Structure 1
Amino acid sequence: MVARAPASVAVPAGKVMLGARHWPGAAASVPALLVHGLASNARVWDGVAALLAAAGREVLAVDLRGHGGSAAVPDPPGSDPILVAARDLAWVCASLRWSRAVLVGHSWGGNIALQLAADCPDLVAGLALVDGGWQHESDRWGDLDTVWRTKAPPDLTGWDLDGVREVLTGAHPDWPGQAVEATLANLEQRPDGTLRPWLTPERHRARWASLLDHRPRELHRRVRCTAVLLAAGDPPDGPTRQAASALPDAELVTFPGGEHDLHLQFPDRVAAAIARLG
């Protein structure tokens, strides 16, 4: 079976609409909802999603608020972005009439997927955490200012899309061209040719504040579904292996030599791990 090209769609999440990419699947399959990381976009899942869809699974990759096709969707005043995103995903499933779904999250998206699995255990048929969803960021960073000095988005003044493409290709020589183009979609190309991230610096910083407050290891015991943890490298005893032990039915898959963006580097292996869920 060959997967059709995805359709770009808008899906209701309560009172707002989120951009997404949709691959149809077999009616009897448990659908998969793919959640990107911080300052990323739904297109980074294209390689993984195409493989899942080719195997018959319905797939939706969503652009979270502030990202990609959902860049203009506002955050509720004073809200926690992780909690808002988890509620948005629950609304998306309800809008699609999905009573059960396999939930997949990368990095920050892993925290969001975990939050939803803990809050709505009857909804989540399987949980895949791709290099995220187990680290307490407050253990690594003293405060938000310290994080921001390292994690603030780069200054793109003077850059054009071809220049960024060249840098990405050089930095990730084993990525397929599709992965490079998907990553470029993190950026808005304005009419004058200049670039800027879809996620504004203010919203980016607010999401890091949310991450510093998030306590994923306190959520693991509330998860009721089968889970798979996909970890870059081969982490020693620590948060990754603690999470694999704390989750009720979890498999840890390590990627020695792997980069943080495992779904871009190894789409076939990531898709195979997800396919075992649900």
Structure 2
Amino acid sequence: MTDSHTLEPRHQHHELSSGVSMHAVHWEPAEPTLPPCLLVHGLASNARLWDGVARRLAALGHRVVAIDQRGHGHSSKPDGPFDMASVADDLRLVITELGWQRPLIAGQSWGGNVVIEFAHRHPGAASVIVCVDGGSIELQRRMPDWEVAKEQMAPPSLIGTPIAKLREWMTTSNADWPAEGIEGQLANFEVRDDGTIAPWLTLERHLLVLRGLWEHMPSDLYASITDPVLWISADNGQSEWTEAKRAGIDAAVSALATSRSEWFSPAHHDVHAQHPAEVAALLHGAVTDPDFF
């Protein structure tokens, strides 16, 4: 086992046959003896939200790669497509580029839906699928009209906000987060020369990704998925939202061949950034403990 505090990531761009230049954050253990892990962020997020989890997994002996999905972070910014099949197939191309065999693949929020789509499209290509407060998102059930969904879920305009103001707000609102999680959240934004920020994901691309998520119905896919699926979910204290989420995940666990659900309460949607040690322990157990599922 390696001391996690001594680990530093390596950044690399992978040129995929899809035309995407994908930025990846590599965490290399001193002795890579355990299954590799691919970590996938959510909508308008970035690879660095996984730093706390990735550092701990690498210290345990896992090769870990966290990616910026197309349009996000330091990856290329194509005009499209951003449908679920295209972004899920990017993961397959990354795994091939890395030369990995059957890694654990974890996705958060929108990324959870992406990895469910991956499991459907590429059965057996992963050892375990992990959905972190995502994977069961079905926006059409709450907002059947796309125009309504687009209006209600369009992101706030943060362009021009001073980075110092944003840092203060994030530190105050996420007071129980480790510093690594705060820095990961700040990495969602480009910092301009004048000290103000702009999201790496443009509004136009954000809406295209959102449309792909709105069109996605993961419950139609569960019966086809043979890989074991771990659900890690956050109870944010809002009973109506949590009850609906629990019902969706309970249905998913029942429909899947092999599945397990774990809840964090109370917890933030970015539970992997808020509780990296606990999330890393679950991912580690999912691929090392034969009785985990």
Normalised to the residue count of structure 1, the TM-score between the two structures is 0.94
For 1:66 and 1:150, how far apart are their aligned partners in 2? 22
Deviation sequence 1:79-132 (CA, Å, 0-9, x none)? 343211111110000011112110000000001111111111121110110010
Quick one: distance in 1 between partners of 2:54 and 2:135?
Answer: 20
More displaced stretch, 36-45 vs 133-142:
133-142
Tell me the equivalent position of 2:42: 37
Identity of aligned residues (%): 37
- Which of 13, 19, 22 in structure 2 is aligned with 1:18? 22
Q: Secondary structure at the match of 1:124?
A: coil
Letter in 2 for 1:91: L
Q: Which residue of 2 aligns with 1:270?
A: 279
Map Cα deviations across residues 174-227 of structure 1 (whole Å, 9 max, x no partner): 011111111111111122333111001011001111111101011111221222
Partner residue of 1:57 out of 46, 59, 62: 62
Code of the residue aligned with 1:242 in structure 2: it is: A
Counterpart Cα distance in 1 of 2:119 and 2:270: 22
Contact 1:18 1:62 in 2 (8 A): yes
Letter in 2 for 1:13: L
Give, in whole Å, the separation in 1 of the partners of 2:161 and 2:173. 16
- Residue of 180, 183, 197 corresponding to 1:181: 183
CA contact (8 A) 1:101 1:126 kept: yes
Q: Distance in 2 between matches of 1:63 and 1:54?
A: 22
Report the aligned-residue RMSD.
1.6
Report if aligned partners of 1:65, 1:75 keep a CA contact under 8 Å in 2.
Answer: no
Counterpart in the other structure of 2:163: 161
TM-score, length-scaled by structure 2:
0.89
How many residue pairs were aligned?
275
Please list every run of 5 or more consecutive structure 2 residues that lacks an aligned counterpart in the other structure.
237-241, 288-293
Letter in 2 for 1:238: A
Q: Which amino acid aligns with 2:280?
A: A
Question: Which stretch has the larger CA shift, 253-262 or 145-154?
Answer: 145-154
Q: Which runs of 5+ in 1 are unaligned?
A: none
Q: 2:177, 2:32 → 1: CA distance?
A: 32
Q: Aligned in 2, Cα 1:144/1:193: closer, same or farther, shift over 3 Å?
A: farther
Counterpart in the other structure of 2:239? none
Match of 1:215 among 186, 211, 217: 217
Q: How many angstroms does 1:27 deviate by?
A: 4.2
Aligned residue in 1 for 2:74: 69
